[in-house]
Amino acid sequence: MITKEEVEHIGWLSRISLTEEEAVKYATELSSVLDYFNQLDEVDTSGVDPTYHVADLMNVFREDEVSPSLPQEEVLRNAAEKKEGYIKGPRIM
Amino acid sequence: MPETIKQVKEKIANSSAEDVISSYLEKIRRSSINGFIYVAENALDQAKAIDSGNNGGALAGVPIAIKDNISTIGMPTTCGSKILQGYVPPYDAHVIERLKAEGAIILGKVNMDEFAMGTSTETSYYGPTLNPWDTERVPGGSSGGSAAVVAAGEAPVSLGSDTGGSVRCPAAFCGVVGLKPTYGGVSRYGLVSYANSLEQIGPLANSVEDIATLMDVIGTYDHRDSTCVNRDINYRSSLEDDVSGMKIGIPKEYFGEGIDEKVEEKVWDAIGKFEELGATYTEISLPNTKYALAAYYIIAMSEASSNLARFDGTRYGPRSEGENWHMMASKTRHECFGAEVQRRILLGTYALSAGYHDKYYLKALKVRTLVKEDFDRAFSDVDVMMAPTMPSPAFKLGEKMEDPLSLYLSDVNTVPVNLSGVPSISVPCGLADGLPVGLQIIGKHFDEAGILKAAYTFEKNTHHHMNTAGEVI
Amino acid sequence: MVYENPDGVMIGLEVHVQLNKLNSKLFCGCSTDYHNDEPNTHVCPVCMGLPGSLPVLNKKAVEYAIRIGLALNCEIIEQTQFHRKNYYYPDLPKGFQTTQYDFPIVGNGKIVIDGEDGEHVVRITRAHMEEDPGKLMHIGHIEKSKGTLIDYNRSGMALVEIVTEPDMRSPKEARRFLDKLRNILEYLDVFNGTLEGAMRVDANISIGGGDRIEIKNISSHKGAERALLYEIMRQKNLVRRGGTVVMETRHFDEARGVTISMRTKEEEHDYRYFPEPDLVPIRVSDWVEGIRETLPELPDARRKRFVSDYNVADTHAKALTSDIRVADFYESVAKEVDPVIAAAWVADILKGELNYRDLGISAFKVEDLVEIIDLVTSGKITEKSGVDVIRTILDEGGSPESIVEKKGLIKVEGDIVSQAISESLKENPEALQDFLAGKEKSLNFLVGQVMKKTRGRADARSVRELLIHEIDEKYR
């Protein structure tokens, strides 16, 4: 169903670095779940609209009004690394 | 002994909130079920403030346990995951603001399946919670901590969240009452999302009355959740001991194959009781039920794969080393998400990815429409539906850990409710082999009144709710 | 004349416009006024993507998007919604961008620009609403950086992304399009183009029907023109050396003026769009007519009005309306003095002096220009002195009155001028002889000498007449 390579690809898309063994293991496990999901192929959904929302709501807005932001120390408090008011991370590439 | 809000309030009136809270804290300290991940350091101070102040709130001095995926200022909110270890939100969820406004005292944060992904509370990074009825068994999940601490008398009431049965399942397994409100009934602001289009915060308690009391507090309109519906509902006013003329639908697909016979028997006994009390029942059909589980998991995993993308080690939580940002994020997520969370993220990513979006994600949403139509059709003839909450009583720890699919299958009777957004309550309806069985009562959109009335009447006319983990009547 | 487009250049643009005239961000109440503030001080649980936070849509942002759509002659969609665009980047606090996908709020419009061969239509494919990511600063160069600093103040700012068809045939046309678009957006009062990061451009370009190259990270109109000129040269050189242009994304390095290939694993995308479950659908078709009625006058209409109401030349009208601030300035001046004279002073003189100093119109006061024009038209100072006053105000400050007084610019006539004329003729016999011998140019020299003696305070035209008169009387 789903190959080790595909698992590695979605692992990258999901930013989860998998080991070789994990990719093999997940390929088996995910295949059996996908196999179960494939039973939906039996259902005739021609002409059926998808349901994205169950609450029957439309046009929910807020007015363009300013409300207080968090203090800078609250914004930074949970970050692993920070510098001079910025949150710091490793280089991009 | 588990208590109701009324009993707690009587105790406060006779002694003090400080006494009540300190005895709960003592019980939590002696606990062996691992229900609490975090105990509030300031609970006693809050109790003293209640004693010396004049908070006339509906829950003045009443202790409550909060599932650890609901944001609380100054208290960790980990979602049972290593990836949020040490994270302390700078804001309160809407429901927490409401509880505080009514004088409730937060005892602490309770255990859950990691990111609410599970049916057993075994996937928590902080270890499994044990079922107070039998500590070799799971308390159900994902709000296992919320149900177990209420059943064990470590808190009179709690809040959980229900994405596919996560309030009702543990309520059933631990012999307490648990409500999944109508989608849009309670603000999700501050609830860490697993599957946004499916989930609601819901209360757990030892009585139906307490459920209604909590809903009156937490179910107020909140403009910060765009999917919150602005309705004026008084939940307590539906507490009437009267089901005469009520039409009950029995969905045949929720019985039979895969359902434990003893569970079915208890549920039929309950339906018999309703008949005795003046209700009538008819068998109905929800033909797309067999596809609901697959549709549910595809939608939940797809939404989850996106919701959980923000946990990348940058703004909060632990961070692994990596040669660049992408490697850091990938390693952090690999090391800090548990196996089940990783599985669901991978599957959800796959279901949304180029080439598979229509086959899985879009297809599931179309099946969701069919499932919802089943409910709409059936509810044109009946007032409520009744069925077993779970196919079996609580299973043993470790029993289903190795086979994800078998775990998913135990949600078969709860997930259709979330797909269609209707409300549903689980109430204790007896024991099977000494373990609690839950009766699920499903209502129409925003007809919490209907299911609360049924549940309340059942409770008033039976003794099942008086069975406790320590003492069976 | 028809533009031949010899290289078969086709340019399309994606323009990200920040709706920085809003008070608050797109999905939360954080203030948009962050440009002079510390990093991470305009941030809340929503725009920081904290777990459990939820978006609520700013109503005015939707109105602004519709306003833009109408100004670009677009159709406004009946019903729309937001989607999630899923990708990982440290400036994206939720791990997805809330944007629009298959139902953009605005579709099918056009802008008419001054093209290579006169009026040229650039079709607008669509415009949609989305949130801005935060801002990254690389410690050192992006590829060898020691780390990244992140500021989320910008995160969640409302953007409208405007996408064109590949209708521009030269980098110059691309720049003209951007100038025109910016001008329209400022007229609409949804956007202040002077703020940093207000307009960001991605360009795609193909040459002679070849593969399309996308250029990212362009932050100015000038930059767009430079990036595209570089890219045309690069592609032509590549083909000349026997290479082929293959579809790719390139990054514009503004400092070096070059585009760099960005082909890395991080750039492989599968955005996995799906509808944002935390936001509900939007149906705003019944707002459209109301918004249309309150749409302000746009540049083209104002240009026509300037011609018809003020009787100014079309070239002046165009120059005056190409920036709303200049147009407003002009109209204020034109209320006080002759509009045609005012047009020349604003469009020909003041704009030039401001451009030379890289200043905006706000650097000059309406009442100062009115006073200067009054001084000139009433004959108190010469036109040349008027220009001098403008320059002095811009360089040193002061009021027209005080400058005129300090520099002694009041126009001189009579004896002083006559004396300067006879002196100049006596001191420059060669020039006089040349003029008498028929060399017309020598007269200019003599005028210059007289002006020098009067320090520019004499009227050049009358000096010229008086000189000829004096020569005819005394030297012929």
Q: What is the pLDDT of residues B229-265, one digit of tens each?
A: 999 899 999 999 999 999 999 999 999 888 999 999 9
Residue C265 confidence (pLDDT): 58
A→C interface, C-beta within 8 Å: 12-13, 15, 52-53, 55, 57-70, 72, 75-76, 83-93
- For residue B151, give its domain range: 5-240
Is the pLDDT confidence value at C317 over 70? yes
> Tens of pLDDT along C115-162?
999 999 999 999 999 999 999 998 887 667 889 999 999 999 999 999
Residue B41 confidence (pLDDT): 87
In angstroms, rounded to a whole number, what is the distance separating the alpha carbons of residues B451 and C263?
58
Query: Residues C141, C21: one domain?
Result: yes
Phi and psi angles of residue C395, each rounded to the nearest 5 degrees, phi first:
-90, -35
Which CATH number is B178's domain given?
3.90.1300.10
Taking CB atoms and an 8 Å cut-off, how many pairs form between chains A and C? 129
The verdict on A23 touching B (C-beta cutoff 8 Å) is no
Domain map (residue ranges) of chain A: 4-41
Query: Residues C330, C355: one domain?
Result: yes
The side-by-side arrangement of strands in the sheet containing A82-83 is A82-83, A86-89, C147-151, C135-139
Residue found by looking up tokens 């082929």 in the block: C244
Residues of chain A scoring pLDDT < 70? none
Peptide bond connecting B142 to the previous residue in cis, omega within 30 degrees of 0: yes
Mean per-residue pLDDT of chain C:
92
Is the pLDDT confidence value at B402 over 70? yes
- What is the residue type of C223? G
Residue C214 burial by CB count (10 A; 0-12/13-18/19+): exposed, middle or buried?
middle
Residue B405 confidence (pLDDT): 82
The verdict on A83 touching B (C-beta cutoff 8 Å) is no
Q: How confident is the model at residue C267 (pLDDT cuts 50, 70, 90)?
A: low
**Distance to chain A for C277, nearest Cα, Å:** 7
Residue A89 confidence (pLDDT): 95
Strands (E), B181-329: 200-205, 247-251, 280-284
- Half-sphere exposure in the Cβ direction for C285 (13 Å, CA): 7
CB spacing of C274 vs B306 below 8 angstroms: yes
Q: Does any domain span residue C322?
A: yes
Q: Among the options B142, B146, B158, B193, which is catalytic? A: B142
CB spacing of B353 vs C270 below 8 angstroms: yes
> Tens of pLDDT along B265-289?
999 999 999 999 999 999 999 999 9
Specify the 3-state DSSP secondary structure of A90.
coil
Contacts of A51 in chain B (CB under 8 A): 365-366, 368-369, 372, 419
Phi and psi angles of residue C470, each rounded to the nearest 5 degrees, phi first:
-60, -45
Of C57, C265, C266, the CB nearest to A62: C57
- For residue C379, give its domain range: 299-407
Residue C238 burial by CB count (10 A; 0-12/13-18/19+): exposed, middle or buried?
middle
Mutate to test the interface with B, among C53, C146, C280 (most CBs of B within 10 A): C53
Q: Does any domain span residue B154?
A: yes
Specify the 3-state DSSP secondary structure of B48.
helix
Of C148, C283, C284, the CB nearest to A89: C148
Q: How confident is the model at residue B182 (pLDDT cuts 50, 70, 90)?
A: very high
Q: Is B67 in the active site? A: yes
CB spacing of A89 vs B353 below 8 angstroms: no
Contacts of C150 in chain A (CB under 8 A): 86-89
In angstroms, rounded to a whole number, what is the distance separating the alpha carbons of residues B332 and B342?
12
Q: Among the options B9, B67, B100, B372, which is catalytic? A: B67
Query: Residues C303, C396: one domain?
Result: yes
In angstroms, rounded to a whole number, what is the distance separating the alpha carbons of residues C403 and C391?
11
**Distance to chain A for B90, nearest Cα, Å:** 6
Query: Residues C463, C356: one domain?
Result: no
Mutate to test the interface with C, among B189, B198, B299 (most CBs of C within 10 A): B189
> DSSP labels for C259-320?
EEE--SGGG------EE-TTS--EE-GGGHHHHHHTPPPPHHHHHHHHHHHH---HHHHHHH
Residue C268 confidence (pLDDT): 66
> Tens of pLDDT along C10-27?
999 999 999 999 999 999
Q: How confident is the model at residue C263 (pLDDT cuts 50, 70, 90)?
A: low
Which A positions 38-57 lie with beta carbon below 8 A of chain B? 39-43, 45, 48-55, 57
Pick the CATH number of A4-41 from 1.10.10, 1.10.20, 3.30.70, 1.10.238: 1.10.20
Q: How many domains does chain B have?
A: 1
- Residue after which a domain boundary falls, among C251, C267, C292: C292
Over residues B166-172, mean pLDDT: 98
- What is the residue type of B442? I
Mean per-residue pLDDT of chain B:
96
Q: How many domains does chain C have?
A: 3
Bridge partners for C283 per DSSP: C79
In angstroms, rounded to a whole number, what is the distance separating the alpha carbons of residues B447 and B451?
7
CA dihedral B439, B445, B448, B453 (to 10 degrees): -70
Of A16, A48, A92, the CB nearest to B324: A92
Query: Residues C95, C172: one domain?
Result: yes
Of A59, A89, A93, the CB nearest to C150: A89
Query: Residues C389, C433: one domain?
Result: no
Query: Residues C124, C195: one domain?
Result: yes
Is the pLDDT confidence value at C269 over 90? no
- Contact criterion met (CB below 8 Å) for C208 and C6: no
**Distance to chain B for C74, nearest Cα, Å:** 29
Of B223, B317, B420, the CB nearest to A62: B223
Query: Residues C84, C208: one domain?
Result: yes
Query: Residues C75, C113: one domain?
Result: yes
Q: How confident is the model at residue C465 (pLDDT cuts 50, 70, 90)?
A: confident
Query: Residues C376, C237: one domain?
Result: no
Query: Residues C142, C269: one domain?
Result: yes
CB spacing of A26 vs B86 below 8 angstroms: no
> Tens of pLDDT along C159-191?
999 999 999 999 999 999 999 999 999 999 999
Phi and psi angles of residue B293, each rounded to the nearest 5 degrees, phi first:
-60, -45
Task: Give the DSSP H or E segment for C199.
Answer: strand C199-207
pTM: 0.92
The verdict on C85 touching B (C-beta cutoff 8 Å) is no
The verdict on C257 touching B (C-beta cutoff 8 Å) is no
Q: Is B305 in the active site? A: no
**Distance to chain B for C278, nearest Cα, Å:** 6
The verdict on C277 touching B (C-beta cutoff 8 Å) is yes
Residue found by looking up tokens 């083909």 in the block: C239
Mutate to test the interface with B, among A35, A51, A78, A93 (most CBs of B within 10 A): A51
CB spacing of A49 vs B313 below 8 angstroms: no
Q: Does any domain span residue C270?
A: yes
Residue C457 confidence (pLDDT): 82
- Residue after which a domain boundary falls, among C351, C378, C407: C407
Give whole-number Cα distances, C215 to B94, C132, C207, C239, C261, in Å.
Answer: 44, 19, 14, 19, 9
State chain A's maximal CA–CA distance in angstroms: 58
Residue C264 confidence (pLDDT): 61
Is the pLDDT confidence value at B306 over 70? yes
Q: Would you tell me the crossing angle of helices C324-336 and C171-187 to the nearest 10 degrees?
A: 60
Q: Does any domain span residue C2?
A: no
Residue B53 confidence (pLDDT): 85
**Distance to chain B for A11, nearest Cα, Å:** 6
Over residues B452-468, mean pLDDT: 95
How far is Cα of residue B432 from the mean position of the Cα atoms in its chain? 22
Residue C379 confidence (pLDDT): 84
In angstroms, rounded to a whole number, what is the distance separating the alpha carbons of residues B18 and B51?
7
The verdict on C84 touching B (C-beta cutoff 8 Å) is yes
**Distance to chain C for A77, nearest Cα, Å:** 12
- Residue after which a domain boundary falls, among C243, C262, C292: C292
Bridge partners for C204 per DSSP: C12, C214
Q: Does any domain span residue C258?
A: yes
Residue B401 confidence (pLDDT): 78
Q: Which two tokens stand for residue B304?
A: 């989850």
Which CATH number is C429's domain given?
1.10.10.410
Of chain C, the percentage scoring pLDDT greater than 70 comes to 98
Q: Is B331 in the active site? A: no
Mutate to test the interface with C, among B77, B325, B328, B345 (most CBs of C within 10 A): B325
Q: How confident is the model at residue B473 (pLDDT cuts 50, 70, 90)?
A: low
Query: Residues C399, C419: one domain?
Result: no
